[in-house]
């Protein structure tokens, strides 16, 4: 579904990624793990079109999306939840969900919002409330909900557990698994909570200093010495 081949990119003139390659198939959860500053989030930003690709190739469903903008990628079926479950603080919960499908016709959008509210019924009572006043767990639901409105084929999640209390983190991961199971959405997730993410993913990539240092099934990786070493 998505192939990243020898990706080179960075910020300004500073390179961050030095040719990592990865792949994600339909309906799977793939995790990217690694220490701070390894370039995990940068991979997601390059895929969704927030930063330019310097070299290498990103293909989604057999078309090259190197030069695609975030708006075009949303229409293609790639949505992105930036780090820390960001929501539009000053907009109501309903408006946040509407923004997720801003390009859709009114009727279609209403249907999509109903869909998301079935998945996260807790948001129903909060529709008119400003998103900035929601609790951390509710914001996580809303951030996920907003990204699901376009019915993405691939969902990019950047540290969904960031800023959540320990008991909310487990719920957040259950929710992500639920989205994958019930909707068949492929998920590429960047996480620092390694043990938690290994429980829900089908494949894992270890990144260090902008390069892939290992990849494999979570069961293989869990007891692998390379997993420990990547954080040293």
Return the number of the residue (105 or 195) whose C-beta is nearest another protein. 105
Q: Shortest approach of another protein to residue 159 CB, angstroms?
A: 11
The dihedral built from the CA positions of residue 23, 28, 231 and 215, taken in this order, carries a sign that is: negative
Which residues form the interface with another protein (CB under 8 A)?
A: 45, 48, 50-51, 69-71, 74-75, 79-80, 82-83, 86-91, 95, 98-103, 132, 146, 150
Q: Which two tokens stand for residue 6?
A: 């020898």
Q: Shortest approach of another protein to residue 71 CB, angstroms?
A: 5
* Separation of CA 49 from chain center: 13
Distance CA 198, CA 194 (A): 6
Q: Shortest approach of another protein to residue 136 CB, angstroms?
A: 15
Distance CA 78, CA 72 (A): 9
Q: Shortest approach of another protein to residue 99 CB, angstroms?
A: 5
Q: Shortest approach of another protein to residue 21 CB, angstroms?
A: 23
Return the number of the residue (117 or 162) whose C-beta is nearest another protein. 162
Return the number of the residue (21 or 66) whose C-beta is nearest another protein. 66
Q: 3-class DSSP state for residue 160?
A: coil
**Nearest residue to 173 (alpha-carbon basis) of 184, 187, 183:** 187
Return the number of the residue (100 or 160) whose C-beta is nearest another protein. 100
* Separation of CA 211 from chain center: 19
Return the number of the residue (90 or 125) whose C-beta is nearest another protein. 90
Q: Which two tokens stand for residue 118?
A: 């079935």
């Amino acid at each position: 579904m998505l192939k990243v081949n020898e990706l080179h990119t960075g910020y300004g003139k500073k390179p961050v990624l030095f040719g990592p390659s990865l792949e994600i198939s339909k309906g799977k959860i793939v995790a990217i793990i690694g220490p701070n500053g390894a370039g995990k989030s940068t991979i997601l930003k390059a895929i969704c079109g927030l930063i330019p690709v310097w070299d290498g190739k990103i293909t989604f469903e057999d078309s090259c999306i190197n030069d695609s903008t975030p708006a075009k990628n949303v229409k293609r079926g790639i949505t992105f939840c930036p780090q820390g479950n960001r929501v539009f603080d000053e907009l109501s919960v309903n408006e946040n969900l509407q923004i997720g499908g801003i390009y859709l016709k009114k009727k279609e959008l209403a249907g999509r919002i109903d869909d998301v509210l079935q998945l996260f019924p807790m948001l129903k009572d909060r529709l008119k409330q400003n998103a900035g006043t929601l609790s951390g767990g509710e914001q996580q639901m809303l951030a996920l909900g907003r990204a699901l409105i376009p019915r993405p084929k691939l969902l990019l999640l950047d540290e969904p557990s960031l800023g959540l209390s320990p008991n909310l983190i487990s719920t957040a991961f259950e929710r992500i698994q639920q989205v994958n199971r019930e909707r068949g959405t492929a998920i590429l997730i960047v996480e620092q909570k390694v043990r938690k993410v290994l429980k829900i993913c089908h494949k894992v990539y270890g990144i260090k200093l902008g390069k892939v240092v290992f990849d494999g099934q979570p069961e293989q990786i869990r007891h692998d010495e390379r997993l420990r070493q990547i954080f040293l």
